[in-house]
Every structure is written in C-alpha cells, then in structure tokens.
Structure 1
Amino acid sequence: MANYTTLSLRAAVALVSFGMTTTVVAQNAGDQKVAAKRDNTAVEYVHVYGEQGKTTTATNLNLSLFETPQTVTAISRSQMDDFLLDKANEVLDYTPGVTVEEVETHRTYYTARGFDIVNFQYDGVGTPFAFGLVQGQSDTAVYQKIEVVKGAAGLITGLANPSATINYVRKRPTEDLQANARASVNEWNGYRLDGDVSGRLGDGVRGRVVVASEDTESYLDRHEDSTNLFYGVLEFDLSEETLLTVGHSYDLNEADGILWGALPLSYSDGTPTDYEVSTSSAPDWSFRDTEQQQTFVELKHQLSDKWMLSGIYTKTDTDIESELFYIAGSPNPDESGLSAYTGRYLNGVKRDMFDISASGYIEVGGREHQLVVGYNRADVEITGASYLDLANGYPALGSDWAQGNSPRPNFVDHDPIGGTSKVEQEHQSFYAAARISFSDQLSALMGARKAEYEQSGVSYGGLANTDADELVPYFGLSYQVTDDVMLYGSHSEVFSPQLFVDPQLRPLGAAKGESSEIGFKTAFNNERAILTVAVFQSEIGNLGVFVGNDIDSGVATYEPKTQESEGYEIELAGQLSDELNISAGYTKVDIRDVNGEVIPYIPEHMIKASASYQIPRIPALKVGGVLKWQDTITTTGATAKQQSYALLDLVLSYRLSEQVSAAININNLNDEKYYNSLYWDQAYFGAPRNVALSVSWTL
C-alpha cells in the first residue's frame, strides 16, 4: 500500500508539473468537434451550480433538464469542489430530496421519496444492483457531475424503482489543455492530494488523467480511512464521424476500526443511551477494504446529421474484504450484559455490461420528433464467503466494550464455516422511446422496456434461482406555457429485480408497482437556473424490507412488503446571477405500509439548501453555506427517537492569484449532536464541528 500511495503522489506532482510547463493548445474545444465526438451533455458554465446541458438519465433522449418531465437534480463539479464533496455519500447527503442512511461506517442506504435507491448508472448506462446496500466510500474525483432523477426511470436502467436513479457522469478529455491540483488537511490528522490534467496528445487524440490520495483519522475512536484513486481516459477520432473512447479507473478504499452494526440505543431498563459522539464499538483490528476497477470502451458513430449510433461496454470488478465485530442486545445501566458476534467476509461482484442504441430525429406531419431504440445486457457474478468461529462463539462483553479491547477471534481461513455464496445474474432488455412534438408547446414522451432477468446459484445455503420477464412502459407529457414555464406529467410502471433474501434465505424476486408525477418548471437566467415544483405518488409491492441478519451467516434478510408513498418537492438550482449560485429543495413525503403504518425512519419534512456568493466589491472573495434540516424520526421499533435538527456548514475561499486560491470549510458549525440514521435499531453519531483547509491551483 505504501508503494501505491507513493506512486499516486508522484503522479500528482508530475501532472501539475506537466500543466505548468505546457501551453494552451486550443481556446474552445466545443467549436472544433464533430457531432459524434461530443454529445454536449456536459456543458458547464464557469462556476455554475446544477447543470445547464443535456441529460439522458431518464429517457436516453437528448433532453435538457427543463424539458425532462421528471424532477432532476444535477450536482456539478463546481459544487463538489466548493464544499469538498470528495465521496459519493457526501454528494448525496447534500442533494435535495435524498437521505443518506449511514447505518454503519462504509455501509449505506440511499433513499428518495420514501424508498431505497437501487438504480445506478455510469454515463447514462444502468448497472445492476448487487449487495442490497452501498459498501465502501466511492471517490468523486472521477466525475464531472452526478445526476439524480427522482421517480422511476426504467427505460434505461431496467430497474424501474419509484425512488430515484443516480447517474455518475465521468470526466472526459478536452481539446484545450486543462490542469488543476488541490491539497487539503483536516483536524483529524488527515490530508488529501488530487490532480487532474486533460488535453490534446496529438492529431485526433485527447487524454485525461485524474489521481487522488487521501489518508485520515476520524472523530470516531480508532477509525481511520485511506483512499488511492487513478483514472485515465483516451479519445480517438477514428474519422470525422466516429469517436472511440477508452477509460479505466482504480479506486481502493481501506478503513480500519470499522463499525458492523452500531451503538445500542436503549438500556435494558428501557431508558435511552446517550454516548459521546466519538463512541464506537469497533476494535482496532476490524477493517473493511473495498477495491473497484472499472474499464469501459465506447464507440459513437454519426450516421447522418440527425442520427447517432452508440455502443458502450463496461467491465467492473469489485472486491471487498472485511473482519468485523458486532455487539448485540441492550446493556445494563453499568454497560455490562452485551453479547457479540464476529465474522470475516470475502465478497465480490463482477459485471459485464453492454449497451447499444440508435438515436436521432424523424420528420412526420411536418414536425420533427426524437426517437431512440436500444439493447442492453448485463452479466453479473456475485460471490461471498463467511468465516465464523461458531465452535467457540464469543465471550460476553464487559462494561469496557467501547474501549476497543475485544480481541480478534481465530477466523478459520481454509473453511468458510458461515457458508459461501455464488449467484449469477443475466439481465437483458430492449427499449424504445420517442418524444413526439404535437405543436411548438405540446410534446408527448412515451416508451417501453422489455426486461428479462434470470438468476441462479446458491446464497449462503439457500437456492437463489429466480427469473422475471416484464414489459415496463413509460409515459410523459409536457406543455410549454411560455419560453420559461413548462407543465409536465409522467407515469411509469415499477419493476425492480432484487437480490434480497427472506429469513429462510430464499430470493424475494422482483418488486412491482407504479409511479406518477405532475408538476411545473420555471427557468431563470437563460435556463441557468430552474425552479421545479412536483407532486408524486407511488406504490410498490413485494418490496424487500430489512428485518435483521441471519444468525449463522450474518447475511442481511428481508421480508416482502407493500408500501405507498406520496408527497411533493420544491427545488431551485442554478446560477441566479453572475455572483450567486444556489441549490435548494424542500421535500414532504408520506410513506406507509399496506396497514397504513408510517415508515418512521424517513423524515416527513426535509430541507437542503446551499449557496455560494462572490462578493462584488471583493471579487477574489467567495462565501458559501449549507443548511440541512429534517424533522423528527424514530426507529421502526420505536426504540429511539431523533428530534428534528439542523446542520450548518460554512465555506470561505479567497483567490490569491489567477491560478491559486485558498479555502476554509467549517462543517456542522453549530456542533449539533445527531444520529447518522435510524434505519436500523442501532445507530452512531454524525461528525461534530470540524474544519478543513485547502489550497487549489488551476492552469
């Protein structure tokens, strides 16, 4: 690991040196590229929040956020840089309408509109969900923006779920030379270095390299984190009509003192616990290492001035190794009486994904209409092994369980006593969508996806065989009242295959239902800012709801439930003026099960707002802030309650020269004590007030 860290740091220095000694080769890349070489989906003005370009996340049609008949949030590179959002969890915790349920360190559920988010994309191509929750800490240095489409988006992902779809949009090479680097430190003896260089390498060849290296301790006792990341991408102009892109990323996240489960929320006599914010049940020998490698090859060919043929192949290999320590039960008031479980786990997932589509314009009835047709396939292999000391168990814990003194057990490497898992999945689908223009004001969006899903294998002793075959339709309607006001409505069926197993370790199969949304959008400042007001309603059956971990294997188990969600969202994002950028949203959601019982761990009311302002009289100075507020929540079993709370963040940055700027970020300025999540009946606290300093250089 030390060798790799040294290599990353040297690469970062080399990149910066290259940027300092190379001249700019072009002023405007966009003007010099044929249509096949750029789809113009990554347009970003200087320091603009949101995204004013096109998005294909919801429909695979080349629509602007204003034209898309769903609520779309785009977190730009500028926003990530301003607020030091270096991890995917941080970006999504900042995103209006999304909750980040950090049930453990490095294991997270994301929710939107009351449901878990299980739809993920890379550059608009869906990736099958594997583990049931997100593991590790994915680094954001690779991405130009992260889009979140609320509601079902089953045309592209094949997983039409009424929560949201998260699309990670990778950085791509530029024709003109771009280079930047940043160094940051925090108060927990942490540092981070990252660098990004892009430009023309020769006639018809462009490249980009991104590196990042981070190492930090934590506010949690005994917890440490490190990240080493490399991303490289090349573009080749095979002809005036054809563009070939090849890229590879390596993201290694290593964490020590890792939580498995969290802290007990009540004592044996029913009174609530009240630990210090830094309290952790993890001993220092516990760890979780997550290594992900991803390679993609993309070919775009301009068939004519109105039609494009696109194909992309992506191979992802993720390996997770962990040794974990779990405390169980409710302690006595003197902290005695707890029991424990331990386990060593080897998990892996391999994905081979291919998507080919043709998109363009046709003229019917004297009007131009958009059309896309495509085929998508994904082959997935999921493996796992558990090593448990079932023969000896683990001794009862003493009152010093939070001191990290619990010894490492004798995990038996050669015999996975807890069981093994090997599951193979085959996803394939055909999809088609059209945007029909009835008039200058009225357009209809309609499409369908024929999705086939087959799963076989064994999951920790239980057969995992299941299959599904479903036609998933999608309908949308938009009416442009004025140039700046759009009314819209959309409806999608819900079809979401699940890897989840029930308490008998049998597969749950697919969740099914429907999702609808109506609303309006208003554009400001030449569509650089958009206000969206939406009302939504969803229902889904056979939905896997977490009930606990299997005692023998530690595998998370779920029960099938029917849940209904309704509510509304108000969101404003973008550049309101040359000096002011904003991303703000209010979400009201009511989610209940089939018996009318409220799902208590999801806040009914939530506000997330962030802004940055460049002081006109001191143009080198920029101030920014974040407000996050949610109302009262409880655990499902009502064992604990989190009162409503607000978090305030502050950032001040100053441009020291044309190339160099410095910033101070203060998070949780009001030093609020709060639980990260009450998704489970255990929880741990979020970070207290903390400060980070950074220096950035841009060519």
Structure 2
Amino acid sequence: MKRSKGAPQLLALSLLASAIVAYPLASHAEGIDYQIQAGTLTQALKRFAAEAGITVLFAPELTQGLNAAGLQGEYTVEQGLAALLASSGLEAIRRGDGVYVLSRRPQSSGLELGATNVTSTTVSGATTEGTGSYTQVGPTSTATGLNLSLRETPQSVTVMTRQRMDDFRLETLTDVLQQTPGVTVSRQADSTTFNVRGSTVNLQLDGSRQFTSGWGWNSHTMYSLDDMADIDRVEVLKGSSGLINGDGAYGATVNLIRKRPTRDFQASVRGGVGSWDTYRTEADVSGPLTADSNLRGRMVAAYKDGNSFRDNRTNRNSLFYGTFEYDLTPDTLLSAGVTYKQRALRGAAGTTPIQGFDGNGNAVPRQSRSFNIGAPWAGYEQDSLNLFARLEHTFENGWTAKLQASHDRIETPEMLIGSLRYALPGEAQLGAYKDIEDRNESVSLDLQGPFLLLGRQHDLLVGAGLSKNRTTLRRGSGDGFTLGELGIEYAQGGSAIPQLDWHSLDYSDDTFSRKRRYVYSAIRLNPADPVKVILGARVTDYEQKDVTDIGWYNYDMRETGVVTPYAGLVVDVTPNISLYTSYASIFEAQSSKDLNESSLPPMEGLTYEVGAKGEFFDGRLNASLAYFWMRVDNEAEAVGLTPSGETAYRAVAGAIRRGYEVELSGELAPGWQAQGSYVMNSSTLDSASTTPQHQFKFGNTYAFAGGALEGLTVGAATRWQSTISASRNTAKLQQSGYWLLDLMSRYQIDEHLSVSGNVNNVFDKRYFSGVTNFNAQGLFYTWGDPRDFTVSARYDF
C-alpha cells in the first residue's frame, strides 16, 4: 500500500500534537458565600449553578421529589454540591471545566451503580445544546447500546454537536455530513450518497432504524434534504454495526438525536437570507408546562424557501416538531412527540448526471455549473409525519428499562420526471410516479444495569424489538424519447423538455417491504480497574419481498436466526488515555443461488479496528487514532447454471478495505473550539476510484473574551480530498484533489440579540461533487456548489 507524504499528513500530525498541549484550567477552588434557602433540590441546584458559574447535567427523574436543606456560608464548588446533595443519595461527578453530571451513589446491595459510570434513563445528560462545545459531554449508546463515554467505546464515533451545526449553518443532513470527519458525500445529480470507509451508511433517528427503499428514484427524496432544526446532535458510528442494526451497510451508522424539552424556559427566533433568493426562519420554544416542572414541552418550527445555482430549480422546506416529557413518578418518565415536514422540489434532475463521455469514449462538451438537465416542471411535493413515544423507568438497584415505539409515514402523491439523459445518443427521460407512500414502524424494549460478579461490578444490556418498512407506488414509464423526436438539443438544458400526457401512461403497482425481528445482548466485564471487555450478539429474523414488473427488482428473501457478534477490549493506560480493539459484523441478505438452487448465506461485513483514545482538559477535548481493516464474506461469484437454467453462484471472500483515521474535537484553548480529522481509505474494488482515498477536514471557531472584540466569534472550516475518477476503456473523467474553505462570524450585540454571516466555498472552487460510470452509457459528472453567502440574526428570550 503506497502512502502519500505531503501536506495532509503534516496537518494530521498537527491535529494529534494539539491534543497533548496543556493550558491553565479555570479554578473552582476559591469559596463563594451562598445564601440559598431550603426548597426543592432542583431549584437549589439551579440557583447554585447560576451563582457558581457552572453547569450541572442530570436526568430529570433523578431529582424529582427531593428537597435540599439550603446552603448558607462560604463553599467551594465541590463542597457546595456535596452539601446540597448530602441526603439525596446523589453525587456530582466532574466531566469538564465547570461541567458536573449527577448520578446515584453506589449502593451496598448486590446490584449497584458505580460512581465512575454516569448513566441515566434519558439521554439528557448527553445533550450538546447549550454547551457551546464541539465535543460530547456525557454518554453515548450508538455503538453498543450501553451508555459509554467516547473514550470507553471501542469503535470510532464522531459527534456533530448543536454548536457545530449552528456556527457553520449546517441546516440539512447533507450539510452536516459534508463537514463530518470521515464521511464522503457523493452526488449523482439529485441523488446524494453518504460513504464512510468506502461503503454506504445506515440511518437512525433516536436509535430507531430509518429505511430508504432500494428503489433509486425514491431513496434520494428522503432524509438527505430534511431540515435539522429539531436535532440536538448527529452521532456517526464508523464500521460494521450488526449489534445495533442486524442487517445493513457496513460503512457506518448515522444516528440523529432529537432535541428534548428543558426544565427551564428558553425560546429563540432566527431569520436569514442568502444567495439565490434563499430565505429561512426558525423558532424554538421549550420549558415547563406545570408549576413543579413535572410536565415539560418543546416546539420547533422552521421554514426555508429558495432557488439554486442550477437553472430553473426551486426548493421549499417546512418543519414542525412538538414533544413533551411527563414525570409519571420520580422514577418513571413518559415522552412522546410528533414531527411534520413538507417539502417541494421543482427543476429536479433525477439520478442521471451530466454526460461527459458516451459509452464509446466520445467526449461531450463540458457544461456550465448552472446547467440543469431537469425540466422546470419536474419534481414533487412531499409530506412526512413521524410519531414517537418512549417510556423509561429507573429501578432502585440502578437498572433502567426503556420501551420505545415510532411510526414514520412519507407521502409523495405525484413525482413528475423530465430530464436529459444522454447527449450521445440524444435521449430524454420522461415519466411519472404516483401515490408513493413510505412507512417505517418499530418498537423496542431495552433493559440495562450493573451487577456484581466475583466481587467486581459489571454492566449488562438485553433487548428485543421488531420493525417493518414498506414502500408502495405506481410507476408510469415514458423512457425512450430521442431528442430529435422532442425537437430539442442537449445544450439547451432541461428547460426545453415538453410535458407528456400523464394520463396516457400505463402505471405499475410496485411494493418494497422489509421486516425484522431481533433480540440482542451486550455485557461490559470489569476484570480489573484499567481493563474493560465488551461482548455482544444480535439474533435477527429478516424478510424482504419486492414486487415490480422489472425482473431484477423482484426479491423474496428470508433469513432466520442470523447472528451478528461483537467484541471489544478497552485498556486504560493512563487516567486520560485508553487503547482499544474491536471486532464487529453486519449482514445483508442476498437472492443468489448455488448449483443446488439453494440461496447463498447472507453477505457479512466484518470490521476489525485498533486504536487509542484520549480525554484531555477534564473531558473538554477528545482525540483518537484508529486503524481499521474491513472484509466482505459470502459475496456471490458466478460459477455456472442451475438445473432450471438460471445463473449459479458460490460464496467467496470479497472486497478488502483498510485505512486509518486521526480525529479530535473540543476545546483546544479557552474560547477556541475545533473539530478535525485526517482519513486514509484503500480498497481492492475498481469502483473505489469514485471515493477519495485521502480526506482532511478541520473546522474551528474562536470567541473573543474581553477587550474591544468581546462578543465576536470568528471561524473557518476547510475540507480537502484526494483525486476521484471514473473510467471506461480509454475515456477517463477525473476530479483532482481540491480544497474548500468556509468562513463564519457572529457578533453578540447583547444578551438577547446576535447577528451572523457565513460564506461557503470562499474561493469559488469549480469541482465535481461526484463522478459516475454507467458503463455502456458512458461517464457522467455532477457539479459541486459554488460560493454562497448568508446573513442571519437570532434573538433569545
């Protein structure tokens, strides 16, 4: 494996070096005089935190029904917290400079909650909103289901926090993942693909799987363009994820974690204008709905309307999110909510990009960035409704139970297709889809908690669930129109394409469905203080049935009892640095048959990973170094014909991918937040050339404190990737390595009002955001976004 040794490697080394540069920490050792009256523990902690200038994070149910005797006199932060919590059964654990997390004190019974493990029945303790940080404080369960810190997790996990999204105006999932370390966003006209380590990703929402059907025209219309106003953070688990998903892609799992109601009132409104007549507004209101705060609610609304750098293209997005949390008892929390989205897109280009070469290697003249192959009338209007509910309970022995259910419905009544397909030979694509409906439904139950074995405390998780995904639609085909028949030329663009008589089309009835039933378990063993061993497995029953009039789109596959094991080892070499290794797997059912006409076993994606992780500056900075090796087993290879005359296959070991990643996130110095990575991927696949082998990303902001610039925050985010290309015979379409630079600034006028400005692609770099090989049809390209500007204002009440 040959490695490049240029500037990107030096930048990667500088990232790692910055993780070990110490600086003076803020001190909380000096005492302050407090006069806090007796009352509820929640109110006492709120007042103490305000006067001490600290943040105290805790699950709402921890303090329900508890009182504090008050606090009079001079105390340090640690002394004051200890006094307030003296009779509560709780303790405060420091997780950062000025950040404390509450948990229950250890019990003397056989089942107890360790002082070093911060767990809760909710994800409130891990909320990134309001922290101002580019790293996560608190546990994440995205990798194993167990509540572990980033350093305790034996796989690579990247978190895009709310602050990171707000600073750089990352308003859609595509925007977020473009800036996310280790993720490649590839475009094929309107279709957007997220790749990690050379493979595609799985999507989750609060841990519930979100399914996008294999039907190409439909997949790109869901999720990638959704507004992120309701999302607190995005967690990206790199590598195979069979323990939490069962089946799926082995590149990564992207888990979107929603905002939750707050115990204190907060509200904000935001408005902005940008390039191509783009306008966006957002409102967010949260707080208690009862005097004792046992019922809390939140509403988020956003609306965006604008054009595009592509001709005759418009996009409109709206979102409403409402949720509540209710403390049924001090130990039981009920949550529920709804998300409603509407989106309209016109000037849609579909999934065939701009042609660069035909199948014989003849070049097609290069088109401008504004060139749109889509007709102005082509596109769709879409409604999306998501309902969810969650019941969580904490038992006296430290165990927790969570029952979660969700229902997702996306309706697209009509999608009109009109686009230029090939310049050579001249051909256009026209058609329509009607009555498209996508449904995702899931329910799951998890139990987890500590237990004693051989005199040491360990953690156990068991869970079960089921999910159903179904897409139905009516497909009307109008393919096969030559440009000559339509009386237009390729260079005119899609605006010249006439509409069909849509009622004259013959419509098919297509169905795509998936069903999953599963049980899983994970255990974290604690054989010695610095050593943790994580073992787990998931057993999945899988069904897939796709019915269309296109032969290669029809599937009827069933798999029973597919086991996806997991193993990880974490060794603390210092209080701040851990070494780890892990093995993870995931499967994908396949319809290929052997010579005996028996279905081949599922393809299995295996990921092996070793690395080191560190927490620095009391958890305000996380850094990691990882090496991974991935393999596909049971890939189908043609070997002959079955007795019925169909192609027969055998299962073989397939593609190999390997590489390494260096990443950091958090506070490099007071006021300086940063997130960056350097990633190298290599693969044995010929198609790997369309994904960059090397990638570097670094985003950072600096907030001035004191002096004439107080209230000003400035930042920059840069991205670099190596060459990508697509080839057919002697023809080659290539995008050389390139840099992109984004800038931001924000000025806090007063405690309520701030104004911001963002510039993306500052130097207006011309680049391909994707290259595609359609074999006999030739090579195609999609232009990346040019420079754009946005100015906005935010008011916090």
Q: Which TM-score band applies after superposition, normalised by the shorter structure? A: 0.7 to 0.9
Q: Which residue pairs with 1:68 in the alignment?
A: 153
Q: Which residue pairs with 2:576 in the alignment?
A: 484
Q: Which amino acid aligns with 1:494?
A: I
Q: Which residue pairs with 2:588 in the alignment?
A: 496
1:459 alignment partner, one of 544, 548, 559 = 548
Contact 1:345–1:387, Cα closer than 8 Å, also in 2: yes
Call closer, same or farther: CA 1:543–1:90 in 2, change over 3 Å.
Answer: farther
Rg larger in 1 or in 2? 2
In the TM superposition, residue 497 of structure 1 has moved relative to its aligned partner by: 4.2
In the TM superposition, residue 452 of structure 1 has moved relative to its aligned partner by: 0.8
Q: Which amino acid aligns with 2:477?
A: L
SS in 2 for 1:62: coil
1:100 alignment partner, one of 146, 160, 185 = 185
- What is the alpha-carbon distance in structure 1 between the residues aligned to residue 59 and residue 555 of structure 2? 52
Contact 1:519–1:535, Cα closer than 8 Å, also in 2: yes
Call closer, same or farther: CA 1:301–1:413 in 2, change over 3 Å.
Answer: farther
In the TM superposition, residue 326 of structure 1 has moved relative to its aligned partner by: 3.4
In the TM superposition, residue 527 of structure 1 has moved relative to its aligned partner by: 1.4
Call closer, same or farther: CA 1:508–1:93 in 2, change over 3 Å.
Answer: farther
Q: Which amino acid aligns with 1:662?
A: V
Contact 1:672–1:688, Cα closer than 8 Å, also in 2: yes
Q: Which amino acid aligns with 2:466?
A: R
2:208 alignment partner, one of 109, 125, 130 = 125
Residues 17-73 of structure 1, C-alpha deviations (whole Å, 9 max, x = no match): xxxxxxxx9667845822466344423363101212211101110101111011111
Q: Which amino acid aligns with 2:282?
A: D
Contact 1:126–1:158, Cα closer than 8 Å, also in 2: no
Q: Which residue pairs with 1:661 in the alignment?
A: 754
Which moved further from structure 2: 151-160 or 164-173? 151-160
SS in 1 for 2:785: coil
Matching of residue 370 in structure 1 with residue 459 in structure 2: yes
- What is the alpha-carbon distance in structure 2 between the residues aligned to residue 294 and residue 688 of structure 1? 34
In the TM superposition, residue 425 of structure 1 has moved relative to its aligned partner by: 2.1
SS in 1 for 2:769: coil
Number of equivalences: 645
Q: Which amino acid aligns with 2:306?
A: T
SS in 2 for 1:64: coil
SS in 2 for 1:576: strand
- What is the alpha-carbon distance in structure 1 between the residues aligned to residue 700 and residue 246 of structure 2? 35
Q: Which residue pairs with 2:497 in the alignment?
A: 406
1:135 alignment partner, one of 190, 196, 221 = 221
Matching of residue 627 in structure 1 with residue 718 in structure 2: yes
SS in 1 for 2:163: helix
Which moved further from structure 2: 673-682 or 85-94? 673-682
Q: Which residue pairs with 1:54 in the alignment?
A: 139
Q: Which amino acid aligns with 1:42?
A: A
Alignment RMSD: 2.6
- What is the alpha-carbon distance in structure 2 between the residues aligned to residue 215 and residue 199 of structure 1? 29
1:686 alignment partner, one of 784, 789, 792 = 784
User: Any gaps of 5 or more consecutive residues in structure 2?
Assistant: 1-44, 50-55, 63-119, 594-598, 638-651, 774-778
Q: Which residue pairs with 1:147 in the alignment?
A: 235
- What is the alpha-carbon distance in structure 1 between the residues aligned to residue 470 and residue 382 of structure 2? 17
Q: Which residue pairs with 1:175 in the alignment?
A: 263
- What is the alpha-carbon distance in structure 2 between the residues aligned to residue 544 and residue 187 of structure 1? 48
Q: Which residue pairs with 1:7 in the alignment?
A: none
Q: Which residue pairs with 1:302 in the alignment?
A: 394
Contact 1:389–1:410, Cα closer than 8 Å, also in 2: no
In the TM superposition, residue 338 of structure 1 has moved relative to its aligned partner by: 1.7
- What is the alpha-carbon distance in structure 1 between the residues aligned to residue 299 and residue 737 of structure 2? 43
Q: Which residue pairs with 1:445 in the alignment?
A: 534
SS in 2 for 1:79: helix
- What is the alpha-carbon distance in structure 2 between the residues aligned to residue 675 and residue 277 of structure 1? 10
Residues 97-131 of structure 1, C-alpha deviations (whole Å, 9 max, x = no match): 101112122x21110000111x2211123334424
In the TM superposition, residue 423 of structure 1 has moved relative to its aligned partner by: 2.8
Contact 1:243–1:300, Cα closer than 8 Å, also in 2: yes
1:216 alignment partner, one of 285, 294, 306 = 306
In the TM superposition, residue 269 of structure 1 has moved relative to its aligned partner by: 6.5
Q: Which residue pairs with 1:15 in the alignment?
A: none
- What is the alpha-carbon distance in structure 2 between the residues aligned to residue 602 and residue 500 of structure 1? 27
SS in 1 for 2:329: coil
SS in 1 for 2:493: helix
2:197 alignment partner, one of 92, 113, 121 = 113
Q: Which residue pairs with 2:275 in the alignment?
A: 187
In the TM superposition, residue 561 of structure 1 has moved relative to its aligned partner by: 9.9
SS in 2 for 1:86: coil
SS in 1 for 2:410: strand
Q: Which residue pairs with 1:255 in the alignment?
A: 345
Call closer, same or farther: CA 1:544–1:147 in 2, change over 3 Å.
Answer: farther
Residues 474-515 of structure 1, C-alpha deviations (whole Å, 9 max, x = no match): 0000000001111000101221347999xxxxx999432311
Call closer, same or farther: CA 1:643–1:477 in 2, change over 3 Å.
Answer: same
SS in 2 for 1:34: helix
Q: Which residue pairs with 1:566 in the alignment?
A: 658
- What is the alpha-carbon distance in structure 2 between the residues aligned to residue 509 and residue 209 of structure 1? 47
Call closer, same or farther: CA 1:413–1:448 in 2, change over 3 Å.
Answer: farther
SS in 1 for 2:131: coil
SS in 2 for 1:90: helix
In the TM superposition, residue 328 of structure 1 has moved relative to its aligned partner by: 2.9
In the TM superposition, residue 677 of structure 1 has moved relative to its aligned partner by: 1.0
Q: Which amino acid aligns with 1:632?
A: T
Contact 1:127–1:157, Cα closer than 8 Å, also in 2: no
- What is the alpha-carbon distance in structure 1 between the residues aligned to residue 241 and residue 480 of structure 2? 48
User: Any gaps of 5 or more consecutive residues in structure 1?
Assistant: 1-24, 332-336, 502-506, 546-559
- What is the alpha-carbon distance in structure 1 between the residues aligned to residue 479 and residue 311 of structure 2? 28
SS in 2 for 1:208: strand
In the TM superposition, residue 381 of structure 1 has moved relative to its aligned partner by: 1.6
Q: TM-score, normalised by structure 1?
A: 0.87
In the TM superposition, residue 578 of structure 1 has moved relative to its aligned partner by: 2.5
Q: Which residue pairs with 1:33 in the alignment?
A: 60
Which moved further from structure 2: 484-493 or 386-395? 386-395
1:83 alignment partner, one of 153, 157, 168 = 168
SS in 2 for 1:351: strand
Contact 2:423–2:490, Cα closer than 8 Å, also in 1: no
Matching of residue 517 in structure 1 with residue 613 in structure 2: no
- What is the alpha-carbon distance in structure 2 between the residues aligned to residue 46 and residue 460 of structure 1? 53
